[in-house]
């Protein structure tokens, strides 16, 4: 999901980041923030920036939860965890920058392929075989 750069939040955030990061486009939105693809100016590398929208930064509990997420992830080192490069607050903007990994979103990945754990569990709960396209009852395909 991308939004045009005419988005007011995009423009205001880019102004606050000037000289440090250059926003390229929005990658997605969720319950706790907006994620942008950006370029870290000094190191000339792509990064993903997760921003807590200013409307949510006024809530101390949400702000702390957001910062705790970043701090917790920054302490971890594992091939399946995206490294956090920086946690920052600039004016009304609270965000963290992390390595950018090009590929499909988690939502798209969970819907693609029959082997996805979520789809398999749902099919099993409904009585369908995980390898079926969702229409053959388990009892007829069991070996």
DSSP structure string for 22-91: EEEEEEEEETTEEEEEEEETTTTEEEEEEEE-HHHHTSHHHHHHHHHHHHHHHH---TTSPPEEEEEEET
For residues 21 and 73, is the Cβ–Cβ distance under 8 A?
no
The CA distance from 138 to 81, in Å, is: 35
Asked if the model's pLDDT at residue 129 lies above 60, the reply is: no
For the record, the structure tokens of 29 come out as 């939105």
pLDDT in tens, 12-38: 999 999 999 999 999 999 888 999 999
For residues 51 and 36, is the Cβ–Cβ distance under 8 A?
yes
Average pLDDT, the chain: 81
Say what percent of the chain tops pLDDT 70: 69
For the record, the structure tokens of 61 come out as 């509990």
DSSP structure class, residue 131: T
Average pLDDT value for residue range 79-92: 91
DSSP structure class, residue 123: H
* The model's pTM: 0.71
Task: Give the model's pLDDT for residue 107.
Answer: 67
Which element (helix H / strand E) includes 118?
helix 117-126
Of 4-8, 92-96, 138-142, the poorest mean pLDDT is in 138-142
pLDDT in tens, 95-110: 999 999 988 766 666 6
Task: Give the model's pLDDT for residue 22.
Answer: 97
């Amino acid at each position: 999901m991308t939004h045009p750069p005419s988005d007011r939040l995009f423009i205001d955030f880019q102004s606050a980041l000037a000289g440090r990061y250059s926003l390229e486009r929005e990658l997605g939105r969720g319950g706790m923030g907006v994620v942008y693809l950006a370029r870290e100016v000094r190191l000339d590398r792509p990064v993903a920036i997760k921003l807590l929208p200013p409307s949510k930064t006024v809530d101390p509990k949400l702000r702390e939860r957001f910062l705790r997420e970043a701090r917790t992830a920054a302490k971890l080192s594992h091939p399946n965890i995206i490294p956090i490069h920086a946690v920052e607050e600039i004016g009304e903007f609270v965000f963290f920058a992390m390595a950018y990994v090009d590929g499909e979103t988690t939502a798209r990945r969970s819907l693609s392929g029959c082997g996805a754990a979520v789809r398999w569990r749902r099919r099993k709960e409904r009585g369908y075989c995980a390898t079926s396209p969702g229409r053959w009852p388990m009892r007829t395909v069991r070996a």
